[in-house]
C-alpha cells in the first residue's frame, strides 16, 4: 500500500485512536524468527510485555468485523483502504490492558487476513536527535494505539509497516518504539528514529532477531527496497544534523545514528539479548557489556515454539544472577521474566494451514516463568467471560487474576514452589500440543467441505482448553496454599503439653 492510497479522511478517522491514552513506560523482550529458521516453517513473533505495575490486568477480546461477511469468510476481495475506520474494519483478536474506563494497549493482535502484530518494544532515541526532531507528545501516535489502528486495515505485513511509517512521518511519533508485523510470507520490524523519522527491516527467512528496550536495527541499504523501508529523507536528515558522516562511516548504521545508548543498558538490556543469543547460538561469544550484537543471526539449529517459550521464561537460572531462586530482589541485572509482566505471547503465522488456524497466538497471562501458554487461533469467535474481566484489584472471576494469584503466591518461596508449578504446566503444554495437532489435522480437512463445522470444532477446542488451564491453575493455587498453611502452622504452632 503506497502513501497515495491513504486518504485524508482515513487519517482524520485515526486521530482519535492515536491519543485516547498516554502509554506508560513499558519494558519488553522481543524474539522474531523467519520461516526458514523454525522447526515447522512458521514465522514467529514473540514478546514479553512488561507493565508498570503487576496489578494491571489484561483482557482478550474478539473484535467482530464491521464488514458484513459470512462467518466462514476469512478473506475479503476489497482493496480499498480509504474508508474511515468506522465503516471498514477487519475482524481481529486483541489483548488490551484494562484501564479505568476503557480497553487500551491491545499490543498483540491478528486479523482475518492472517496478519499479526506485536507492539511495542519500548525504545528511546538519542537526546541529540530529539533536540532536532522531538517526539510529538500531543498528536503523535503512541504505543497505546498502534495495534488497534494498524491491524484493522492491512492485508500484509509490508502494508502494515507502510501505514505505520506514513503515520509517523505525517502525524509524528509520541514516543520511541519498535513494532513487529508478520504475515504468512514475511515479517518486518520497524523502529523510530525521531519524532518523524523511522526505518524498518525485513527479517531474513533463515534468521532470528532479539531486542530488549533499545534500538537494534543497524546497517541499512536504502537502495534495497525489498528488504528495507525508510522514512523519506532519513539519511539526508542524519547527515544534516551530523548524526552520520558518509565520508568516514563505511555504512549507514541506524542504531549509531539514532539510538539512545546509556550505561544503564548494560544492566537492563544487554544481558537479556546475550542470554537469548547464547541459547540459540551456544558458540556465540562476546563481551555483552559492550552491547555489540549482530542484528540478525542464523540459529545453530532450527527454533521451535518451545525454544522461544524457554528463552522468554529465562531468569538467569543456574547462574549467580538468578534473583528468584537466590532470593535477591537487589540483583543488578534485570532478568527476562519479571513478575510485572502483563503477558507473554508467541505468535505463529503459517502458510500451510487453513484460514482460521493460519495464525495462532500462544498467550501466557502474567509472569510466564510461572505461567502457561494457551493457544488462541485467529478463527475463534469468542472467549470465555473470565478473559473479559479484571481490573487493578484482585478478583475471583478474572482469568488474569486466577494466574496472577498463583504467581504471587509462588514468589513467596520461588525455590520450592516454582518447580511444582513448572512441572504441572509442562505436562499440560505437552499434552495440549498433541491434542492441537490432532485438532488441526481434522480442521484442515473439515474446512474444505464445511467451514462452519470447522469453526465450531475450533471454538469447542479453545473453550475446553481454557477451562482446563484455569482449573489446573486454581488447583495449583490450592496446593501452594496448603503448603503455606502447613509451614505457618509449624512456625506458630504453640502445641500444648
SS3 443: helix
- Residue with grid cell 488456524, as numbered in its chain: 357
What span, in angstroms and rounded, lies between the C-alpha atoms of 136 and 168?
A: 9
Contact 197, 171 (CB under 8 A): no
- CATH number for the domain spanning 293: value is 3.60.60.10
pLDDT digits (tens, 9 = 90+) for 343-391: 999 999 999 999 999 999 999 999 999 999 999 999 999 999 999 999 9
Q: Which three cell numbers stand for residue 63?
A: 473484535
Tell which residue, 235, 221, 180, 233, has the closest CA to residue 203. 180
Where does the pLDDT of residue 178 fall: very low under 50, low under 70, confident under 90, or very high at 90 and above? very high
Percentage above 70 pLDDT, the chain:
89
Contact 164, 190 (CB under 8 A): yes
Amino acid 65: pLDDT: 64
Contact 234, 197 (CB under 8 A): yes
- The verdict on whether omega for the bond into residue 120 sits within 30 degrees of 0, i.e. cis, is yes
pLDDT digits (tens, 9 = 90+) for 60-99: 999 876 544 333 322 322 333 332 343 445 678 999 998 7
φ/ψ of residue 221, rounded to 5: -120, 100
Q: Is the dihedral of CA 164, 168, 172, 177 positive or negative?
A: positive
CA gyration radius, the chain: 23
Amino acid 100: pLDDT: 58
Provide the 8-state DSSP code for 412: T
Q: Where are the beta strands (DSSP E) in 219-340?
A: 219-220, 228-230, 252-253
User: In terms of residues, how long is the chain?
Assistant: 497
Contact 359, 116 (CB under 8 A): yes
- Check pLDDT > 70 for residue 405: yes
pLDDT digits (tens, 9 = 90+) for 272-314: 999 999 999 999 999 999 999 999 999 999 999 999 999 999 9
Amino acid 91: pLDDT: 77
Q: Which three cell numbers stand for residue 453?
A: 463445522
Amino acid 8: pLDDT: 34
pLDDT digits (tens, 9 = 90+) for 221-231: 999 999 999 99
Q: Is the dihedral of CA 347, 352, 357, 358 positive or negative?
A: positive
- Residue with grid cell 465503516, as numbered in its chain: 87
Q: Which three cell numbers stand for residue 168?
A: 509517523
Torsion of CA 256, 136, 106, 101, to 10 degrees: 150
What domain count does the chain have? Answer: 1
In a domain, 443, yes or no: no
In a domain, 440, yes or no: no
What span, in angstroms and rounded, lies between the C-alpha atoms of 121 and 302?
A: 24
Catalytic residue numbers read: 28
Element (H, E) at 98: strand 97-98
- Residue with grid cell 498453611, as numbered in its chain: 485
SS3 394: coil
Phi-psi region of 73 (alpha: psi -120 to 50; beta: other; left: phi over 0): beta
Extract long-range pairs of 277-286: CB within 8 Å, 24+ residues apart: 277/210, 279/307, 279/310, 279/311, 279/314, 280/208, 280/307, 280/311
Q: Which three cell numbers stand for residue 152?
A: 484493522
- Check pLDDT > 70 for residue 427: yes
pLDDT digits (tens, 9 = 90+) for 104-143: 789 899 998 999 999 989 999 999 999 999 999 989 999 9
Between 2 and 374, residue with greater pLDDT: 374
Where does the pLDDT of residue 490 fall: very low under 50, low under 70, confident under 90, or very high at 90 and above? very high
Amino acid 2: pLDDT: 42
Between 149 and 43, residue with greater pLDDT: 43
Amino acid 120: pLDDT: 85
Amino acid 99: pLDDT: 75
Quote the domain boundaries for residue 63.
Answer: 3-421
Tell which residue, 314, 311, 304, 272, has the closest CA to residue 291. 272
pLDDT digits (tens, 9 = 90+) for 9-50: 344 334 333 333 334 445 799 999 999 999 999 999 999 999
Q: Is 205 exposed, middle or buried (0-12, 13-18, 19+ CB in 10 A)?
A: middle
pLDDT digits (tens, 9 = 90+) for 446-487: 999 999 999 999 999 999 999 999 999 999 999 999 999 999
Amino acid at each position: 500500500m503506497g502513501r497515495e492510497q491513504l486518504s485524508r479522511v482515513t487519517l482524520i478517522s485515526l486521530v482519535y485512536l492515536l491519543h485516547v491514552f498516554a502509554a506508560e513506560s513499558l519494558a519488553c523482550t522481543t524474539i522474531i524468527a523467519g520461516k526458514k529458521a523454525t522447526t515447522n516453517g512458521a514465522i514467529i513473533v514473540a514478546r514479553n510485555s512488561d507493565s508498570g505495575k503487576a496489578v494491571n490486568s489484561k483482557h482478550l477480546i474478539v473484535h467482530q468485523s464491521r464488514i458484513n461477511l459470512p462467518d466462514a469468510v476469512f478473506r475479503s476481495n476489497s482493496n480499498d483502504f480509504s474508508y474511515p475506520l468506522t465503516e471498514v474494519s477487519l475482524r481481529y483478536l486483541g489483548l488490551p490492558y484494562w484501564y479505568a474506563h476503557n480497553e487500551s494497549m491491545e499490543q498483540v493482535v491478528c486479523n482475518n487476513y492472517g496478519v499479526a502484530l506485536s507492539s511495542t518494544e519500548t525504545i528511546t532515541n538519542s537526546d541529540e536527535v530529539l533536540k532536532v526532531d522531538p517526539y510529538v507528545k500531543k498528536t503523535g501516535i503512541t504505543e497505546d494505539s498502534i495495534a488497534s489502528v494498524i491491524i484493522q486495515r492491512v492485508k500484509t505485513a509490508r502494508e502494515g509497516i507502510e501505514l505505520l511509517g506514513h503515520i509517523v512521518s505525517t502525524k509524528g511519533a509520541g514516543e520511541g518504539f519498535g513494532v513487529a508485523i508478520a504475515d504468512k510470507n514475511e515479517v518486518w520490524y520497524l523502529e523510530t528514529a525521531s519524532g518523524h523519522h523511522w526505518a524498518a527491516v525485513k527479517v531474513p527467512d533463515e534468521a532470528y532477531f532479539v531486542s530488549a528496550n533499545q534500538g537494534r536495527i543497524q546497517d541499512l541499504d536504502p537502495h534495497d527496497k525489498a528488504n528495507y523501508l525508510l522514512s523519506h529523507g532519513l539519511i539526508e536528515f542524519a547527515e544534516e544534523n551530523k548524526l552520520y558522516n558518509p565520508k568516514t562511516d563505511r555504512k549507514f548504521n541506524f542504531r549509531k545514528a539514532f539510538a539512545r545508548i546509556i550505561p544503564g543498558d548494560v544492566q537492563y538490556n544487554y544481558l537479556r539479548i546475550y542470554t537469548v543469543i547464547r541459547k540459540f547460538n551456544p558458540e556465540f561469544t562476546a563481551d555483552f557489556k559492550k552491547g555489540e550484537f549482530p542484528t540478525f543471526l542464523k540459529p545453530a539449529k532450527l527454533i521451535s515454539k518451545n525454544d522461544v517459550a524457554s528463552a522468554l521464561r529465562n531468569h538467569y537460572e543456574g547462574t549467580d544472577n538468578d534473583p528468584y531462586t537466590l532470593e535477591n530482589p537487589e540483583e543488578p541485572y534485570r532478568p527476562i521474566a519479571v513478575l510485572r509482566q502483563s503477558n507473554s505471547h508467541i505468535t505463529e503465522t503459517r502458510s500451510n494451514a487453513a484460514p482460521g488456524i493460519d495464525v495462532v497466538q500462544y498467550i501466557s497471562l502474567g509472569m510466564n516463568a510461572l505461567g502457561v501458554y494457551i493457544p488462541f487461533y485467529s478463527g475463534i469467535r469468542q472467549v470465555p467471560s473470565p478473559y473479559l474481566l479484571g481490573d487493578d484489584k484482585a478478583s475471583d472471576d478474572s482469568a488474569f487474576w486466577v494466574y496472577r494469584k498463583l504467581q504471587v503466591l509462588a514468589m513467596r518461596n520461588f525455590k520450592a514452589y516454582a518447580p511444582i508449578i513448572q512441572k504441572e504446566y509442562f505436562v499440560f503444554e505437552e499434552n495440549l500440543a498433541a491434542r492441537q495437532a490432532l485438532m488441526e489435522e481434522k480442521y484442515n480437512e473439515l474446512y474444505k467441505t464445511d467451514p462452519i463445522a470447522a469453526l465450531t470444532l475450533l471454538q469447542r477446542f479453545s473453550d475446553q482448553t481454557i477451562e482446563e488451564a484455569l482449573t489446573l491453575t486454581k488447583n495449583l493455587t490450592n496446593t501452594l496454599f496448603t503448603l503455606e498453611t502447613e509451614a505457618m502452622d509449624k512456625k506458630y504452632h504453640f502445641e500444648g503439653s
